[in-house]
């Protein structure tokens, strides 16, 4: 059975098989819908089902809430059509699918800690990058496979992009990156920017940032952008960064410096697997709960491995009263 999908308020129509996601079906026919994680965990593809029925697929509840489902929203990266559909896609530009993205060149690739690379890219044509702090770009690999990476540099820096990338054993892209398979001077095709994990907290409201490992990248971009645009007045920003060993705190000194220079910024590095570490040990959510207690009026930005995000949401909503609609999360998988 093949279903027809119409994108409301446009002339775009495409067909979908029952076993493919709506995003996959669109791409197969030359249409790009906005999405980032492709595993139902970031919310970038959340869209309205105007008519028809979908199988919502496997999604994370922080990316698609009960209220979203009641409002007939779905995550198009995991949802599949169960009938003909009309969908309304928010904030989208639709483009015909040719060769996706644009070419960049690797201008720096440094192993800043064991299994952790700082990658810097410039555009081949010298044009600026335009993104919002917290967003990702995807690296386009052969066979049109994508890998998403959050920009670590501030949005004020438009001539290059900086990423912090952790090695995943046996991983397709990171195996190339952590070998001579990708060298300084080599080209890399990127697509983006994508994602809605951006800073949204109004002045006067406390913002907590809980991240693990390379989840610090979009947080660095957000905080550095606030600093460089002189937008710290009236803000209260608390960063909790969890790593296994202190060697992974590759931008720790920078955050320490920001916390020293700006009373609005507070930084707590947390190390979980190093006996000799004298600072805070354990989990980011536990320390945030100890420091802040009641979280009914705070925003929380959660970024990094999926298990931390799930555990932090469960713990902080129950223990501290953190509200679902004050949670912003970007899951890197794992």
Ligand X SMILES: Cc1cc2nc3c(=O)[nH]c(=O)nc-3n(C[C@H](O)[C@H](O)[C@H](O)COP(=O)(O)OP(=O)(O)OC[C@H]3O[C@@H](n4cnc5c(N)ncnc54)[C@H](O)[C@@H]3O)c2cc1C
Is 21 near ligand X (CB under 6 A)? no
36 binds ligand X (CB under 6 A): yes
DSSP secondary structure string for all residues of 123-172: ETT-PPP---TT-EEEEEEGGGEEEEEE--S-TT--SEEEEEEE--TT-H
Q: Residue 14 or 149: which CB sits closer to ligand X?
A: 149
Q: Of 150, 198, 212, 264, which lies in the binding site for ligand X, with binding defined by CB under 6 A?
A: 150
Distance CA 260, CA 267 (A): 9
How many helices and strands in the chain, by DSSP H and E?
A: 7, 19
Give 57's contacts (C-beta < 8 A, 6+ positions apart): 21, 40, 75, 78, 79, 80
Tell me whether residue 195 or residue 242 sits nearer to ligand X (CB atom): 195
Interface region with ligand X, contact rule CB under 6 A, candidates 10-18, 74-82, 164-172, 272-280: 164-172
Angle at CA of residue 116, ends 112 and 122, nearest 5°? 75
User: 23, 25, 35, 42: which one contacts ligand X (CB under 6 A)?
Assistant: 42
Q: Which stretch binds ligand X (CB under 6 A): 60-68, 163-171, 229-237, 284-292?
A: 163-171
- Range 253-312, binding ligand X (CB under 6 A): none
**Number of chain residues interacting with ligand X (CB under 6 A):** 25
Is residue 172 at the binding interface for ligand X, with CB under 6 A as the rule?
yes
Assess 168 for contact with ligand X (CB under 6 A): yes
Which two tokens mark 94? 């639709």
Q: Taking the complex as a whole, how short is the minimal distance between the CB of residue 33 and ligand X, in angstroms?
A: 16
Considering beta carbons, is residue 58 or 319 the nearer one to ligand X?
A: 58
Round to whole Å and give the CA distance between 97 and 99. Answer: 7
The answer to whether residue 250 forms part of the interface with ligand X (CB under 6 A) is no
When asked if residue 214 is in the footprint of ligand X (CB under 6 A), the reply is yes
Nearer to ligand X, 30 or 333 (CB): 333
Q: Specify the residue, 12 or 129, whose C-beta has the smaller distance to ligand X.
A: 129
> Which residue, judged by CB position, is nearest to ligand X in the bound state?
171
CB-count burial class (<10 Å; 0-12, 13-18, 19+) for 92 = middle
Stretch that binds ligand X, among 47-55, 56-64, 102-110, 167-175 (CB under 6 A): 167-175
Contacts of ligand X in 63-102 (CB under 6 A) = none
258 φ, ψ to 5°?
Answer: -60, -40
Only one of the segments 21-29, 94-102, 289-297, 326-334 lies at the binding site for ligand X (rule: CB under 6 A); that segment is 326-334
Q: Which long-range CB contacts under 8 A does 105-110 form with residues at least 24 apart?
A: 105/185, 105/186, 105/187, 105/188, 106/182, 106/183, 106/184, 106/185, 106/186, 106/187, 106/188, 107/160, 107/184, 108/184, 109/177, 109/182, 109/183, 109/184
* Residue ranges that bind ligand X, judged by CB under 6 A: 36-37, 42, 136, 147-150, 163-166, 168, 170-174, 195, 214, 217, 330, 332-334
């Amino acid at each position: 059975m093949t279903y027809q999908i119409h994108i409301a308020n446009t002339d775009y129509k495409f067909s979908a098989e029952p076993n493919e996601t709506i995003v996959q079906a669109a791409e197969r026919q030359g249409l790009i819908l906005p999405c980032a994680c492709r595993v139902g965990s970031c919310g970038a593809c959340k869209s309205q089902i105007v008519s028809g029925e979908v199988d919502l697929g496997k999604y994370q509840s922080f990316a698609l809430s009960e209220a979203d489902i009641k409002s007939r929203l779905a995550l198009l990266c995991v949802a599949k059509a169960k009938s003909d559909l009309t969908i309304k896609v928010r904030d989208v530009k639709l483009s015909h699918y040719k060769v996706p993205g644009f070419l960049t060149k690797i201008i720096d690739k440094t192993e800043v800690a064991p299994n952790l690379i700082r990658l810097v890219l410039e555009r081949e044509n010298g044009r600026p990058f335009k993104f919002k702090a917290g967003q990702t770009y995807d690296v386009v690999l052969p066979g049109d496979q994508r890998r998403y990476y959050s920009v670590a540099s501030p949005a004020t820096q438009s001539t290059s992009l900086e990423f912090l990338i952790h090695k995943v054993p046996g991983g397709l892209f990171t195996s190339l990156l952590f070998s001579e398979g990708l060298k300084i001077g080599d080209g890399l095709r990127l697509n983006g920017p994508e994602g809605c994990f951006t800073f949204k907290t109004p002045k006067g409201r406390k913002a907590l940032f809980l991240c693990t490992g390379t989840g610090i990248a979009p947080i660095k971009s957000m905080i550095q952008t606030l600093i460089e645009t002189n937008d710290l007045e009236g803000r209260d920003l608390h960063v909790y960064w969890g790593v296994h060993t202190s060697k992974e705190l590759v931008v720790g000194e920078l955050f320490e410096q920001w916390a020293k220079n700006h009373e609005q910024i507070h930084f707590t590095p947390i190390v979980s697997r190093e006996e000799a570490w004298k600072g805070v040990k354990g989990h980011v959510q536990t320390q945030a709960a100890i420091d802040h207690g009641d979280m009914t009026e705070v925003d929380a930005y959660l970024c990094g491995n999926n298990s931390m995000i799930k555990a932090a949401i469960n713990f902080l909503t129950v223990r501290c009263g953190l509200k679902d609609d004050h949670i912003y999360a970007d899951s890197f998988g794992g």
